[in-house]
Amino acid sequence: MSKRKIFITLVAAFLISFLFKEYHTRIFHPSSNMRTERDLRQSQRDSLRCTIYIPSHAGSRVGYHYEIMRRFAASHDLAVKYVAVTDTVPVWDLLKNNLTDILAVNIIHDPVPKTLSGKVYITPQITPLGEVWIMMKERCHWHLSLVHWLTLFKQNPGFARFRGRFLPASPDKCPYDSLLRSVSRTLGWDWRVLRAVMYQESKYRMNAYSGSNAIGLMQIKEFTARDMKVSNLFDPEENIKGAVRYFAFLKRNMHLAHLPEEEEIHFVLAAYNAGMTRIQRDREKAAQDGRDPDLWAHVAAYAPQQTQEYVEIVWNRYMGWVNASE
């Protein structure tokens, strides 16, 4: 081989290596300083509105969609804004009426309605189950950029490990374990207690929305979120940290520090479910009847049946994980 060919080969190899590293940085480190593509700059928007509409049993697959959306948005200097599905506005109307930019659906179970035929872009499958992202053509001129980004994202060597955090979904596999391990230290609890609460509350669905307006992974209500300084209940990290701050608040204000850890956890779980005022009142009633207000077994009979079952289910699930690891 001539020197000229060797030189060209080396230059080509260098360029390929450089481009690969750039794509890896853009896709798997979205917080890095990145340039917005020209077509996205022209949109003059600073947020990407997203809605995920897949079955409630999907569990952590919802978080899988959300995290990919978040990384795409961050790589284009946009902030994800989650738009919840409510009973007042049909999901397809969110897209049609410009209330959301990207709609994640299972196109097998929820095909595009005839009124939107020919008016939307559809990405390749995000999961093997027929889940895709859909956008309105008239508003999403960056569709090809998104498809190209998704292709590179899935080709990256780090993708398999990323995907493994979320899929396949199961009660014993939570994609937020590392965060739970970190934030549980402030409580002094085994992080798996928090995971048991999360599974009971939302089945690991970051977009969970109850009829009583409890939101997110830990099902926090908006007035509690305000007190706990949580601005975005649909963001997994904010939601989890807000719940931990609330647990700490309950521990402190119910004066539980002197109790054994198991009793402390039982009372906090009960207050999380029924409200601190109700459980404090139940403790007072137990004391008046000559029972020990510091033993959940003595107080439980005064609490709502739903709360008794809640504490038992969460605690048994936690103990099941503890025993399985021994």
What does the pLDDT look like over 196-231, one tens digit per residue?
999 999 999 999 998 888 999 999 999 999 999 999
Give the contacts of 286 (CB within 8 A, at least 6 positions apart): 292, 293, 298, 299, 301, 302
Query: Does residue 110 register a pLDDT over 90?
Result: yes
Q: What is the CA radius of gyration of the chain?
A: 24
DSSP H or E stretch at residue 28 = helix 3-28
Comparing C-alpha atoms, which of 320, 70, 46, 76 is closest to residue 206?
70
Within 8 A by CB and 6+ apart from 71, the residues are 27, 28, 30, 153
For residue 51, pLDDT over 80 is answered with yes
Give yes or no for residue 173 having a pLDDT over 70.
yes
Helix (H, G, I), strand (E, B) or coil at 80: strand
Mean of pLDDT over the chain: 89
DSSP SS3 for 220 = strand
Angle between helices 143-155 and 159-166 (to 10 degrees): 100
CATH for 179-325, among 1.10.10.10, 1.10.530.10, 3.10.20.310, 3.55.50.30?
Answer: 1.10.530.10
The token duo for 301 is 């009979």
Q: Which pLDDT does position 45 carry in this prediction?
A: 53
pLDDT of the residue at 233: 97
Tracing tokens 């284009």 back to the chain, one arrives at 76
| Domain residue extents for the chain | 38-166, 179-325
The band of 118, judged by pLDDT with boundaries at 50, 70 and 90, is very high
Query: What pLDDT band is residue 6 in, cutting at 50, 70 and 90?
Result: low
* Nearest CA among 219, 193, 195 for reference residue 206: 219
Q: What pLDDT, on a 0 to 100 scale, did the predictor assign at position 149?
A: 97
Q: By three-state DSSP, how is residue 221 classified?
A: strand
Provide the 8-state DSSP code for 89: S
Cis preceding linkage at 168, omega within 30:
yes
Using CA atoms of 83, 87, 93, 95 in order, give the dihedral in degrees to the nearest 10.
Answer: 20
Residue 209 carries which DSSP code?
B
Instruction: Give me the pLDDT at residue 325, please.
Output: 86
Tokens of 275: 């409200």
Residue 47 pLDDT > 60: yes
Q: How far apart are CA 242 and CA 152, in angstroms?
A: 34
How many whole angstroms separate alpha carbon 42 and alpha carbon 321?
51
Residues 6 or more apart in contact with residue 255 via CB below 8 angstroms: none
> Which residues contact residue 22 at a Cβ distance below 8 angstroms, ignoring those fewer than 6 apart?
none
* Nearest alpha-carbon partner for 21 in 152, 114, 123: 152
Which CATH architecture best describes the domain 38-166? 3-Layer(aba) Sandwich (3.40)
Distance CA 196, CA 313 (A): 9
| Arithmetic mean of pLDDT, 255-274 | 97
pTM of the shown model: 0.84
Q: What pLDDT sits at residue 89? A: 82
